[in-house]
C-alpha cells in the first residue's frame, strides 16, 4: 500500500516511523510519502492561507498549492514508481507544477461510497468534522486500497474548489473521526492510518486480533459489540482476582462469559450501538442476560 500525506507539519508524522507501521515500511509492505504543502507555495513567505470570501473569522487554505501538490503526487503515482517514503523528513523530488497530466488509473471520477471493492489507483481522503463518520467498516474498505492520499487542512479548512477539482480526477472521501473540532486534520490522519494499517495482512502479527476485537470486521461472535474486560497474570493482584471462569479451561463457558460481558458493557456504555444491533443478533440467552441486568431488550415481548 502507498500512502501520501500533504500537510504543513510534516514532523507531525514522525510516529509512522515506529511500531507496527514503521516495521511494515521497513519491510516494504507500506511506503509513505510525507509532503510539505509549502513546497508548492511560491511566494517569498510560502503563504498557504488567505482571508475568507464573504467575511468571517479565521483563514482559509488557498487552492493553488493544493492543486499543485495533488498534480505532483498523482503524476509520481502514474509515472515511475514513487520515491522512497519520507517520514518526518524533507520533500521528495522536485515540485512539479502546472501541467501534471494524470495518466491511466487516475482519470476515473467514480465515487467510493458503499461497501464495494476499492478502486484501483489513488483516492483522496480529507479529514473534516463535516465528513461522513470514519469507523471500522470504512477502515476495512480502505485497507483494500492501493494508494491513499491524505490532505490535512488547517485553519477554517481548504478552499472548497480543491475537493471539487480532486473529484474530477480520482475518488474523494471526506471523513470525520468524531464530532469535535481539531486545530487541523493531522491527528485524524494519524488515527485513520493506524486503524487502516493494522488491518493489512502481516502488519498486526496476530491475524486473529483484528477480526475478534470491538467492531470486529463484520464476522465473529462479537460483531457490533464492544469488548468486555481482559486479564493477564498474576491471578491475584492487589487483592483483586481474575474471574474464575477464565481459569476453568472450559472454552464454551469462557466464550459465553465473554459474550455476556460484551453485551452488558455495550448496553451500559454504548446504547447507540446496542440499539443498532440487527434483528437476530441476540439469542434468547443474550436477551435473558440483558434483561436480568435491568436493560429493556427490544422484541423480547414479541411472540413469533
Ligand atoms: C479542523 C481541517 N473529525 C475530527 C476532525 C477532523 C478534521 C478537523 N477537525 C476535526 C479539521 C481544522 C481544519 C480539519
Instruction: Give tens-digit pLDDT for 121-169.
Output: 999 999 999 999 999 999 999 999 999 999 999 999 999 999 999 999 9
- Reported as a single tens digit per residue, the pLDDT across 27-39 is 999 999 999 999 9
- Reported as a single tens digit per residue, the pLDDT across 259-296 is 999 999 999 999 999 999 998 999 999 999 999 999 99
Are 127 and 152 contacting, i.e. CB atoms less than 8 angstroms apart?
yes
Give the helix/strand (H/E) hosting 166. Answer: helix 161-167
Q: How many other C-beta atoms lie within 10 A of the C-beta of residue 41?
A: 21
For ligand 1, mutation pick of 52, 188, 190, 191 (most atoms within 8 Å of CB): 188
Q: How many other C-beta atoms lie within 10 A of the C-beta of residue 132?
A: 12
Is 153 near ligand 1, meaning CB less than 6 Å away? yes
Identify the residue whose C-alpha is closest to ligand 1 atom 6. 128
- Tell me: pLDDT of 99 over 90: no
Is 2 near ligand 1, meaning CB less than 6 Å away? no
Q: Is 213 a catalytic residue?
A: yes
Is 58 near ligand 1, meaning CB less than 6 Å away? no
The pLDDT, as a whole number, for residue 282 is: 96
Q: How many other C-beta atoms lie within 10 A of the C-beta of residue 68?
A: 20
Predicted confidence band of residue 79 (pLDDT cuts 50, 70, 90) = confident
- Tell me: pLDDT of 5 over 70: yes
Are 10 and 89 contacting, i.e. CB atoms less than 8 angstroms apart?
yes
Identify the residue whose C-alpha is closest to ligand 1 atom 12. 184
- Tell me: pLDDT of 58 over 70: yes
Amino acid at each position: 500500500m502507498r500512502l501520501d500525506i500533504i500537510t504543513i507539519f510534516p514532523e507531525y508524522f514522525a510516529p509512522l516511523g515506529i511500531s507496527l507501521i514503521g516495521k511494515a515500511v521497513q519491510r516494504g509492505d507500506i511506503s509513505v510519502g510525507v509532503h510539505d504543502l509549502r513546497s508548492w507555495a511560491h511566494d517569498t513567505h510560502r503563504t498557504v492561507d488567505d482571508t475568507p470570501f464573504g467575511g468571517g473569522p479565521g483563514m482559509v487554505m488557498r487552492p493553488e498549492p493544493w492543486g499543485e501538490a495533488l498534480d505532483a503526487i498523482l503524476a509520481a503515482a502514474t509515472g515511475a514508481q514513487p520515491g522512497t517514503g519520507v517520514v518526518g523528513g524533507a520533500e521528495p523530488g522536485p515540485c512539479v507544477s502546472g501541467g501534471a497530466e494524470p495518466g491511466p488509473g487516475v482519470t476515473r471520477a467514480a465515487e467510493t461510497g458503499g461497501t464495494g471493492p476499492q478502486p484501483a489507483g489513488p483516492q483522496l481522503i480529507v479529514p473534516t468534522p463535516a465528513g461522513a463518520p470514519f469507523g471500522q467498516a470504512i477502515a476495512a474498505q480502505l485497507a483494500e486500497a492501493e494508494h491513499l492520499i491524505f490532505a490535512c487542512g488547517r485553519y477554517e479548512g481548504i478552499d472548497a474548489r480543491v475537493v471539487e477539482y480532486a473529484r474530477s480526477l480520482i475518488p474523494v472521501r471526506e471523513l470525520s473521526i468524531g464530532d469535535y473540532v481539531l486545530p487541523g486534520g493531522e491527528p485524524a490522519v494519524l488515527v485513520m492510518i493506524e486503524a487502516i494499517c493494522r488491518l493489512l495482512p502481516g502488519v498486526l502479527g496476530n491475524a486473529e486480533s483484528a477480526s475478534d476485537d470491538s467492531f470486529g470486521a463484520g464476522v465473529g461472535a462479537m460483531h457490533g459489540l464492544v469488548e468486555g474486560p481482559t486479564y493477564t497474570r498474576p491471578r491475584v493482584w492487589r487483592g483483586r482476582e481474575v474471574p474464575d471462569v477464565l481459569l476453568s479451561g472450559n472454552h464454551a463457558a469462557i466464550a459465553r462469559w465473554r459474550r455476556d460481558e460484551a453485551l452488558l458493557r455495550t448496553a451500559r456504555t454504548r446504547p447507540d450501538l446496542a440499539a443498532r444491533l440487527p434483528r437476530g443478533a441476540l439469542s434468547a440467552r443474550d436477551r435473558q442476560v440483558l434483561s436480568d441486568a435491568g436493560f429493556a431488550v427490544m422484541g423480547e415481548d414479541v411472540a413469533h
